[in-house]
Amino acid sequence: MAFSDDAIPIVAHNLLSLEICFPLAPCPAILVASPDHAIRCLVSKMEIPMTATTANRTEKISDVSRQVRRWILRSTSAADSGHPTSSLSAVELMTTLLFDGHFRFDVDQRDAPSNDRLIFSKGHASPLFYALWAAAGQVDEKELMTYRQFGSDLEGHPTSRFPFTEAATGSLGQGLSVGLGMALAARYQHQLPSRCFVLLGDSEMAEGSQWEAIQLAAHYKLDNLIGIIDVNRLGQRGETMYGHNAAEYRKRIEPFGWRCVMVDDGHDPEQVSQAYADALDPKAADGRPVMMLAKTIKGKGVKFLEDENGFHGKPIDADRMNEALSALGEPAKPLQLQIAKPDPASADAPQAPAEPAAEEKMAEYALGDTVATRDAFGNAIERLGVKHPELVVLDGEVCNSTRARTFRDAFPNRFYQMYIAEQNMVGAATGLALRGASPFVATFAAFLSRAFDQIRMIPYSGANVKFVGSHCGVAIGQDGPSQMGLEDIAMFRTIQDGVVLYPSDAVSTEALVDAMMEHQGVSYLRTTRGKTRVIYDSSESFPIGGSKVLRQTDDDRVTLVGAGVTLHEALEAHQLLAKDGIAARVIDLYSIKPLDHAALRQAADKTEVIFTIEDHFPEGGLGEAVLTSLSDHCTPVNCLAVRKRPLSGAPDQQLTAQGLSAAKIARAVRRWCETGA
């Protein structure tokens, strides 16, 4: 039996009547997102011939796929570099998503919260990414041919310089975490039906960060997060862990609480479109994130590249380009493609519920009080949460130690427990930031080091993420070296345009948290576990890039530069030295990056020697920052730092053993004054 083309749409809207007239075996795919998909299901069950509507859609996707493949080959050839084979394998997966009505995005309002989001976690498939936006009319063909050229926005791996890049990728294993953050923002911050799609490579599924994201996405019931694994079998040097066996990924992903949708042929637009319909079926949404697993062929469309090892990251030789393009053929007609726009009604969806908010007020600290700077951090973010609804906090299951729990208790709907999965925590914070949140990421400073890859990528996404590392240095005491942040200053100093702050008391901590809130970009605050004396009046200001000269005279012989716990040791050393007739200037270098170069240079001009004192390894820390600042100055700089393997022990024992106690600082200064060394 056959239906006329005109009759099909009517029947598709009345599936129940059709089922009655023609009894069918159970068909799970009937519960789908659009009439076209319902038609396809019935066609399959009843062997009804393909309709003109379906055939036209398939032809459209095949046509755009052909053109996209041509652009991939030509742009990588022009660049004489790139990853064409990795791009070719995912063409139908992406063209069907963008141009078959599944993806909803207003190209004229890229930042609209209701837009769906697309992240290429396999960022080396950037030729495909740029070609998709060319097919959407947002990049012209001439610009595509500037791929990988110096100054082009079409960089080798996508960054924020290209306006349709949601997040910088290329360091594999990060995209799903960023997508998780965007899905969190849509679901819990904006309460909008925006979905986030993440294209994943099969090779990168070996990364532990992927499985951190998989666990947390299920925990937060993010059925608006859709991963798409391009199972093309081949990695850079050979076959991937599971080759073409997509079922092996399913066996591992589903037990984590995801719903998997299988695609036997990732190059068949009909199969791919049906898979998206199944993945996005609102009746199937049950809080489980969705993973599409699509078997594809690396190098698809170019016969001499298909499923062949040894071509990863290599453009086609010029003498074979015509052969490849001729085999692909020209598109049947000029491309006139549009991406579906979000439902206008979705822009009016309710925002996240208001939090019960306390009155915003600064905690009162009296001079001489002893308060841990981590406590002051907790007070500050609770206070800032009142007037900054965009402020969110991510915790690595240590909020009782970092004091982020104060924010959790006051604003539970803006607090995200990421558990002990720091890589995912940083990636999710990036996604939240890119969707308008101002995230603070808080954990032990030592544990942030395992997420450095995610941290270093943040500037290339243009995200605004704030970090707070507690339990820094040997001064934490008995816990021992595994818990001591001794590399964190060096790590964050390497972030281009990043900010590194190390307050010494509660007043400066609260002021610097305020400054971080206003700063755009990556910033890091180092907090102290133990209590320190309040030395500043609440009226003091602490601009980023500043310092405080706490002790000085016209007769100063030496300058002591400290921050955090070592500043208090330097102040005590100042008193000890004064008894010996040695006048010492004391500087609180609370802003380690950027530095107060003027204050340091003035001290170098006025004193004979500078001693830096830091509870951190010497490499990359405060001392090296000062040395760099004064590299052209003749005044010597002596760096006191953690130079011995730390042990468990009381904080005062630790500082003494490392030569960082007041008495040891004074001894080092006396020795220099006596011997010049």
- Point out the residues that are catalytic: 422
Contact 50, 43 (CB under 8 A): yes
Give CA–CA dist 157/635, Å, rounded.
45
* DSSP strand pairing (584-588 vs 548-551): antiparallel
Contact 291, 259 (CB under 8 A): yes
Amino acid (1-letter code) at residue 594: P
Cα 439 off chain centre by: 11
> Cα separations (Å) of 374 from 300, 443, 471, 473, 503?
55, 11, 9, 14, 10
Environment class of 618 (CB within 10 Å of its CB; exposed 0-12, middle 13-18, buried 19+) = middle
Contact 428, 394 (CB under 8 A): yes
Q: Which two tokens stand for residue 174?
A: 């990060």
Helix residue ranges, H only, 342-402: 373-387, 399-402
Residues in the chain: 677
> Cα separations (Å) of 104 from 195, 274, 361?
9, 17, 43
3-state secondary structure of 238: coil
Cα-Cα-Cα-Cα torsion 600, 602, 606, 608, nearest 10 degrees, comes to 30
Amino acid (1-letter code) at residue 247: A
Cα 349 off chain centre by: 26
